[in-house]
């Protein structure tokens, strides 16, 4: 296809189709009797989203669910065999433990630091610069991040000068060198820190957007009334920001559970650092490939998120109630 | 509308107004600067190494290059640009990324608006199900979706990747936007309805403009995920129509073809980072305080 034609479609065609869809459906709805409009309209508004989700996520997931009860080549039914393998294999249990470490430390680190940074940079004049610096890692692809952290965690024999940044730093005070990505207890934490480094910018941007949504008059009023900064934080910022903190925390929990790329590029799951998502990849794409087991691992991932979903449902109910 | 503009004009003063005691200001700057320093060091190391000769990179740490004698070179960049026709793949990346950002953001905004401000049966159940889809690992959908795209004949076209990225990006986009739109002041929509505004008008004239900060952040994330994506393009475009491949795939193939020479990759990594970073800097001015705050009063 001609580049100019493509460019025109990309810049004008796509948005026109989308806006046109809503205007057209509003036309159709407008032709209906008044009392039926309210009942029909929402379905038109969510229809495009639902269609995309059915094709790209729901249908493949049902497919995965069915495959998790089948054998390696998806030919015959094997019942719960793949799940029994999962709970009996020491490798998957270790991966499960490591994924839990990811969930706890990555979520804590990202949300805590993201909130701290969002609030702090709100008060300094070089906010855009500081935010760009924290955000930078998110603009880096995982392949590049793997290279970057090889320079950071690099290890050389103690008799030679250390080229890894971290070992050189602790070498100044006579410590190390440490094999950061291989030795317990550093291995998993070192990998998780890469995740924190990459995702803190994400939390910061969303929390900062939420923070900007809080009315400045409200904050000023509290301060004029003599509230300390801590009271403003506890009494106004945190309660108003709670829905946003929830979104960020849920997203990071899920990201941590799905974390694959960092482990894949840095250790490939060796040295006791395997995680569930990499285990799934291994089952699926390492010849001969076991689609049954890979699917079972994917379903376990899905099940692991249910508690977080339940908390979210409760919170939506509360939000609806106070509206 | 004027009150909205006014709120924006006043915005910068609010942040700077509050001057605490000197010591706590000093602590504030200290903490911000230390965190920023820790965050930039890894990337700085990469940047410095990308300008160093290969044999130096493996012999000494990147910080030694900061002191004389200086020994910098552009050879790594020259090799990356010569080796592959990166220009074409850069255009491809743009053609892939722009619609794959616009479509999910718009489609999610429609749905989020319905979830936040319309009532219909099973609303919460459907919404929670959508959020639940966040957890589905991309890798587990690749094979069924590829079969589907191949059977409709759009595998290999840009369209295939646009649609796929929309599907994968939607759960988070809907989740984020619904949360933000649900928090917009009820009074605005009620008075708009009383004044006879249709839901479409309320959406385009009120809900969208008031959600600009969150839409800007969402657009940035979606842009980055798509720009840095390797897997989706590799699988849905790769085998069918290699001419349409984006930059990440070219760079990755460059890496494997010159295997193990990380100094080349450092240069390639920086070339792929330039655009996403500029987009972030460009959109940053939309993260303004007080847009919703101003609208409540108006």
Per-residue pLDDT of B91-146, as tens digits, reads 888 889 999 999 999 999 999 999 998 888 998 889 888 887 887 777 778 778 88
Q: Which residue has the higher pLDDT, B165 or A321?
A: B165
Alpha helices in A54-126 (DSSP H): 59-67, 81-88, 90-101, 107-121
DSSP code, position B287: -
Q: Are B161 and B225 in contact (CB under 8 A)?
A: no
Res B84: pLDDT: 60
Q: How far apart are CA A121 and CA B35, in angstroms?
A: 11
List the single residue in A with minimal CA-CA distance to B128. Answer: A313
Residue count (chain B):
298
Res B20: pLDDT: 55
Position B261 confidence tier, pLDDT thresholds 50, 70, 90? low
Res B257: pLDDT: 65
Which residue in the set A52, A125, A139 is minimally distant from B170, CB to CB?
A52
Res B284: pLDDT: 66
Could you tell me which of A241, A254, A247, A256 has the C-alpha nearest to residue A307? A254
Position B292 confidence tier, pLDDT thresholds 50, 70, 90? very low
Give the mean model confidence (pLDDT) for residues B170-187.
88
User: Does pLDDT of B14 surpass 50?
Assistant: no
pLDDT in tens, A46-76: 999 999 999 999 999 898 889 889 888 878 8
Res B263: pLDDT: 67
Res B287: pLDDT: 54
Q: Which residue has the higher pLDDT, B40 or B294?
A: B40
Give the mean model confidence (pLDDT) for residues A86-107.
91
pLDDT in tens, A219-240: 888 888 888 888 888 888 888 8
pLDDT in tens, B21-77: 677 888 889 999 999 999 999 888 888 888 888 777 777 778 777 777 777 888 788
With a CB cutoff of 8 Å and minimum separation 6, the contacts of B158 are A6, B92, B95, B96, B99, B237, B244
Asked if the C-beta of B132 comes within 8 angstroms of chain A's C-beta atoms, the answer is yes
Mutation site for B-interface testing, chosen from A216, A236, A264 by largest number of B Cβ within 10 Å: A216
Residues of B within 8 A of A7 (CB-CB) are: 95
User: Does pLDDT of A282 surpass 50?
Assistant: yes
Interface touch B265/A150, C-beta < 8 Å:
no
* 3-state SS assignment for residue A232: helix
**CB under 8 A, 24+ apart: contacts of A189-194:** A189/A101, A189/A105, A190/A153, A191/A262, A191/A263, A191/A266, A191/A267, A191/A273, A192/A101, A192/A102, A192/A105, A192/A106, A192/A109, A193/A109, A194/A145, A194/A149, A194/A262, A194/A266
Q: How many CB atoms lie within 10 A of CB B296?
A: 15
Q: How far apart are CA A208 and CA B207, in angstroms?
A: 19
Res B61: pLDDT: 76
| Predicted ipTM of the assembly | 0.80
Residues of A within 8 A of B176 (CB-CB) are: 206, 247
Q: Are B109 and A22 in contact (CB under 8 A)?
A: no
Residues of B within 8 A of A317 (CB-CB) are: 124
Interface touch B95/A10, C-beta < 8 Å:
yes
Q: Which residue has the higher pLDDT, B283 or B215?
A: B215
Rounded to 10°, the helix A186-212/B158-182 angle is 60
Which range of A97-101, A287-291, A293-297, B256-260 scores highest in mean pLDDT? It is: A97-101
**Partners of A77 in the beta sheet?**
A70
- Give percent of chain B with pLDDT exceeding 90: 15
Which range of A16-30, A105-119, A142-156, B233-247 scores highest in mean pLDDT? It is: A105-119
Which residue in the set B118, B134, B289 is minimally distant from A216, CB to CB?
B289
Q: How far apart are CA A165 and CA B37, in angstroms?
A: 14
Interface touch B272/A247, C-beta < 8 Å:
no
Res B232: pLDDT: 83
* Touching A: B residues 22-81, CB under 8 Å: 28-29, 31-32, 35-36, 39-43, 45-46, 49, 58-63
pLDDT in tens, A240-249: 888 888 888 9
Least confidently predicted of A75-79, A92-96, B33-37, B236-240: B236-240
Nearest chain B Cα distance for residue A285, angstroms: 10
Res A322: pLDDT: 62
């Amino acid at each position: 296809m001609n580049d100019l034609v493509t460019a025109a479609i990309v810049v004008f065609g796509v948005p026109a189709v989308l806006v046109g869809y809503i205007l057209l459906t509003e036309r159709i709805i407008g032709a209906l009797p008044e009392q039926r409009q309210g009942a029909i309209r929402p379905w038109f508004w969510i229809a495009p989203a639902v269609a995309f989700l059915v094709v790209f996520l729901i249908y493949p997931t049902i497919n995965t669910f069915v495959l998790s009860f089948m054998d390696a080549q998806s030919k015959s039914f094997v019942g719960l065999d793949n799940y029994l393998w999962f709970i009996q294999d020491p490798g998957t249990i270790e991966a499960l433990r490591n994924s839990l470490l990811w969930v706890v430390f990555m979520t804590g680190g990202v949300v805590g630091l993201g909130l701290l940074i969002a609030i702090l940079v709100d008060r300094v004049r070089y906010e855009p610069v500081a935010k760009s610096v924290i955000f930078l890692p998110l603009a880096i692809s995982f392949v590049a991040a793997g290279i970057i952290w090889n320079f950071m965690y690099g290890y050389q024999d103690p008799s030679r000068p250390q080229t890894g940044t971290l070992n050189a730093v602790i070498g100044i005070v006579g410590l190390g060198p440490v094999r950061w990505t291989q030795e317990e207890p550093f291995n998993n934490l070192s990998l998780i820190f890469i995740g924190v480094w990459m995702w803190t910018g994400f939390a910061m941007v969303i929390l900062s957007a939420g923070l900007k949504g809080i009315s400045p008059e409200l904050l000023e009023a509290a301060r004029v009334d003599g509230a300390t900064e801590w009271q403003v934080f506890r009494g106004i910022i945190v309660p108003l920001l709670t829905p946003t903190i929830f979104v960020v925390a849920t997203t990071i929990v899920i990201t941590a559970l799905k974390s694959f790329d960092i482990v894949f590029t840095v250790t490939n799951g060796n040295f006791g650092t395997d995680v569930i998502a990499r285990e799934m990849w291994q089952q699926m794409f390492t010849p001969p490939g076991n689609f049954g087991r890979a699917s079972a691992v994917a379903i376990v991932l899905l099940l692991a998120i249910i508690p977080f979903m339940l908390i979210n449902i409760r919170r939506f109910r509360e939000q609806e109630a106070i509206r | 509308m004027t009150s909205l503009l006014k709120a924006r004009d006043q915005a910068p003063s609010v942040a700077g107004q509050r001057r605490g005691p000197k010591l706590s200001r000093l602590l504030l700057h200290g903490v911000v600067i230390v965190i920023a320093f820790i965050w930039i060091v890894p990337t700085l190391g990469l940047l410095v190494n990308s300008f160093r000769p290969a044999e130096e990179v493996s012999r000494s740490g990147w910080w030694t290059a900061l002191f004389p004698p200086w020994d910098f070179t552009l050879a790594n960049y020259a090799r990356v640009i010569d080796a592959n026709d990166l220009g074409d793949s850069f255009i491809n990346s743009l053609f892939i990324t722009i619609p794959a950002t616009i479509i999910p953001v718009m489609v999610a905004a429609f749905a989020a608006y319905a979830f936040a401000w319309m009532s219909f049966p099973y609303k919460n159940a459907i919404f929670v199900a959508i959020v639940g889809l966040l957890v589905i690992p991309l890798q587990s959908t690749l094979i069924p979706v590829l079969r589907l795209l191949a059977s409709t004949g759009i595998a290999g076209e840009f369209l295939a990747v646009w649609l796929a990225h929309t599907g994968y990006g939607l759960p988070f986009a809907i989740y984020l936007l619904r949360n933000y739109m649900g928090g917009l002041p009820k009074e605005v929509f009620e008075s708009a309805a009383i004044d006879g505004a249709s839901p479409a008008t309320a959406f385009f004239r009120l809900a969208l403009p008031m959600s600009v900060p969150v839409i800007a952040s969402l657009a940035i994330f979606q842009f980055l995920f798509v720009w840095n994506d390797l897997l989706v393009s590799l699988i849905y475009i790769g085998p069918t129509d290699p001419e349409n491949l984006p930059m990440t795939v070219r760079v990755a193939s460059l890496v494997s073809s010159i295997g193990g020479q990380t100094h080349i990759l450092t240069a390639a990594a920086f070339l792929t980072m330039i655009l996403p970073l500029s987009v972030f800097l460009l959109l940053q001015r939309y993260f303004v305080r007080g847009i919703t705050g101003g609208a409540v009063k108006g």
